[in-house]
Amino acid sequence: MIKNVFIDIDDTLLDFDKNATLAVKMAFEKVGLCYKDEYGPWFLQINDGLWRLIEEKKLTRKGLHERRFKGVLSEFGLVGDGDLIEKLFREFLFDLAIPVDGAVEILKYLSGKYTVYAASNAIYLQQVNRLKKAGMYEYLERLFVSEIIGYNKPSKEFFDACFKELDGATVENTVMIGDSLTADIKGANDYGMRAIWFNKKGAIEPNEKNYFAKVDRLQDIKKYL
Ligand SMILES: [Mg+2]
């Protein structure tokens, strides 16, 4: 009997790809660099690669911030102040809250039936601000964010910290929803918790299906919860 839902934020509730692409464009324009549309997907690919390293404990968040835009600029063949662009990117991203289609509706639905907690690898205040702007914060009982916890999904320590704070929550009565096979689904599965994979990007299903359901649209979660 499911009682609790852990739900990822970026690219599950808030559209990270759209928000981040816009933040990159704004940061580039602020420093006078010409922005081209192909930079967006390129940035996301570099960023994803760095986040994989964080999930594998091979890179810290500080390392990500130091490396991200230096790498991006060199990949794009541009000359600029990587540290300044990184700072501007995060300032712009802080206020961008474009939702994933159906996110508010599904949160409203889930919070009517279960207790819903956010579980995110991110910066706490940034997530609070963006969820409030998107009208989602009120549906979340609490936010578990890696910056505060000190560990990232998929690590056991991240989920240990969540469950330690929750009375009566067990791996049997809790389900994880998220878009990332490496952070959300593997994290939940390794921890013994069921997971619903939100296949936001229409990826090919992996051979090892370590989730009990896959949805292509958030509203389809209602079929399972
Ligand atoms: Mg995500």
Q: Do 126 and 163 fall within a single domain?
A: yes
* Centroid of ligand 1 to alpha carbon of 51 (angstroms): 11
pLDDT range class, residue 209, cuts 50, 70, 90: confident
pLDDT range class, residue 127, cuts 50, 70, 90: very high
What integer pLDDT is reported at residue 122 of this predicted model? 93
Q: Do 213 and 106 fall within a single domain?
A: yes
What mean pLDDT is reported for the chain? 95
Q: Do 102 and 145 fall within a single domain?
A: yes
What is the count of structural domains for the chain? 2
Mean pLDDT calculated for residue range 70-81: 91
What span, in angstroms and rounded, lies between the C-alpha atoms of 196 and 8?
11
SS (H, E, C) 55-103: HCCCCCHHHHHHHHHHHHHHHHCCCCCHHHHHHHHHHHHHCCCCECCCH
* Centroid of ligand 1 to alpha carbon of 43 (angstroms): 16
Mean pLDDT calculated for residue range 179-196: 96
The residues pairing with 5 across neighbouring beta strands, listed in sequence order, are 116, 175
Q: Can you say whether the dihedral through the CA atoms of 158, 161, 165, 168 is positive or negative?
A: positive
Region of poorest pLDDT, from 95-109, 140-154, 198-212 = 198-212
Contact 113, 120 (CB under 8 A): no
* Centroid of ligand 1 to alpha carbon of 10 (angstroms): 4
Domain CATH number, residue 47: 1.10.150.240
What does the pLDDT look like over 17-73, one tens digit per residue? 999 999 999 999 999 999 999 999 999 999 999 999 998 989 998 999 999 999 899
What does the pLDDT look like over 13-33, one tens digit per residue? 999 999 999 999 999 999 999
Q: Do 166 and 123 fall within a single domain?
A: yes
* Centroid of ligand 1 to alpha carbon of 133 (angstroms): 18
Domain CATH number, residue 109: 3.40.50.1000
Q: Do 213 and 173 fall within a single domain?
A: yes
Comparing CA positions, the residue from 116, 123, 139 lying closest to residue 6 is 116
Choose the final residue of a domain: 67, 94, 121.
94
* Centroid of ligand 1 to alpha carbon of 203 (angstroms): 14
Question: Is residue 208 over pLDDT 90?
Answer: no
Q: Do 70 and 105 fall within a single domain?
A: no
Q: Do 65 and 159 fall within a single domain?
A: no
Please state, as a whole number, how many other Cβ atoms lie within 10 Å of the Cβ of residue 62: 8
Choose the final residue of a domain: 94, 128, 161.
94
* Centroid of ligand 1 to alpha carbon of 7 (angstroms): 9
What span, in angstroms and rounded, lies between the C-alpha atoms of 158 and 180?
15
Q: Can 179 be counted among the known catalytic residues?
A: no
* Centroid of ligand 1 to alpha carbon of 88 (angstroms): 22
What span, in angstroms and rounded, lies between the C-alpha atoms of 166 and 160?
10
Q: Do 86 and 130 fall within a single domain?
A: no
What span, in angstroms and rounded, lies between the C-alpha atoms of 9 and 124?
11
Choose the final residue of a domain: 94, 113, 135.
94
53: helix, strand or coil: helix
Q: Do 197 and 177 fall within a single domain?
A: yes
Q: Do 48 and 108 fall within a single domain?
A: no
The secondary structure element, H or E, covering residue 194 is strand 194-198
Domain range spanning residue 115? 4-15+98-223
Q: Do 87 and 107 fall within a single domain?
A: no
Question: Is residue 80 over pLDDT 90?
Answer: yes
- Which residue is catalytic, options 8, 17, 179, 184? 8
Mean pLDDT calculated for residue range 73-96: 95
* Residues above pLDDT 70, as percent of the chain: 100
Mean pLDDT calculated for residue range 103-130: 97
* Centroid of ligand 1 to alpha carbon of 75 (angstroms): 24
Q: Do 148 and 121 fall within a single domain?
A: yes
